Amino acid sequence: MILKSLREEVLEANLELVRRGLVLYTFGNASGISRGDSLVVIKPSGVPYEVMKPEELVVVDLDGKVVEGKLRPSSDLPTHLVLYKAFAGIGGVAHTHSRFATAWAQAQREIPCFGTTHADYFHDSVPVTKPLTPKAIRSDYEVNTGHAIVRRFVKLDPLHMPGVLVAGHAPFCWGATPTEAAHAAVVIEEIAALAMHTLTANPKARAISKHLHDKHFLRKHGGSAYYGQKK
């Protein structure tokens, strides 16, 4: 069995999505990449999480060809592969249909940055992709979903914006590792819930200032970060 430790981390990232209540039945998947081997480890399609073992995960190359594993990979694999190819700095991808983030994706509205919880992780509004054309839906749908995400990020840095809402679908998140990708999926759900309730309390709520946004983002990211323990 190759990539044992990556398999274990990817499995653990999948289980984190379940533990945090982001996943109903099999509505979610996480993957990780070994950049050195150009190989991706991903959850198999439609298999219950509770019984999943590291050896059941599927190893594929960047064209999606199965290199090791007896089961079909997640049907969202082509989207993951597009993201790994376009975003050189990421090491993991997580996709869920978590309740509040999915509601914003369905509403086809960006999540405004109403507060510091958001600013700690996302360096702007959480973006939404444009809807796919009928043609892009008809063939290579999952690949085209990835392209829609990449197009939305032409002017954005994926390491400063660890997730996106796919219009009419749900969030895709990522990070330097599968663990961080799952973490981003948990956080995007919390941000989405906070923003929803903020609008209920005040339909005219406004985003926080760019100053406050930068302050919080840079407390946790970059050279002058001072959150957490020294490494």
Active site residue 121: no
Judged by CB under 8 A, the chain residues 31 through 90 that form the site for a copy of itself are 44-47, 71-72, 75
How many beta carbons lie within 10 A of that of residue 101, not counting itself?
Answer: 28
Closer residue to a copy of itself in complex, CB, 18/34: 18
Spell out the residues 6+ positions from residue 202 whose beta carbon is closer than 8 angstroms to its own.
none
Judged by CB under 8 A, the chain residues 169 through 188 that form the site for a copy of itself are 169-170, 183, 186-187
- Of 38, 81, 40, 37, the closest CA to residue 57 belongs to 40
How many beta carbons lie within 10 A of that of residue 43, not counting itself?
Answer: 27
Bridge pairing between strands 28-34 and 66-68:
unpaired
State the Rg of the chain over Cα.
17
Closer residue to a copy of itself in complex, CB, 157/214: 214
CB of 35 to a copy of itself, least distance (A): 27
Active site residue 37: no
Judged by CB under 8 A, the chain residues 200 through 219 that form the site for a copy of itself are 200-202, 205, 208-209, 211-212, 215, 219
CB of 185 to a copy of itself, least distance (A): 12
Q: Which of 15, 52, 66, 193 binds a copy of itself (CB under 8 A)?
A: 193
End-to-end CA, the chain = 32
User: Which structure tokens are listed for 143?
Assistant: 């690949």
Judged by CB under 8 A, the chain residues 114 through 133 that form the site for a copy of itself are 114-117, 131-132
User: What are the backbone angles phi and psi of residue 218, rounded to the nearest 5°?
Assistant: -85, -10
Put residue 19 in one of left, alpha, beta given phi > 0 → left and psi -120 to 50 → alpha.
alpha
User: Which structure tokens are listed for 111?
Assistant: 């999540």
| Contacting residues toward a copy of itself, per CB under 8 A | 24-25, 27, 44-47, 71-72, 75, 97, 99-100, 102-109, 114-117, 131-132, 134, 137-138, 141, 168-170, 183, 186-187, 190, 193-202, 205, 208-209, 211-212, 215, 219, 226-230
**Which residues are catalytic, by number?**
120, 227
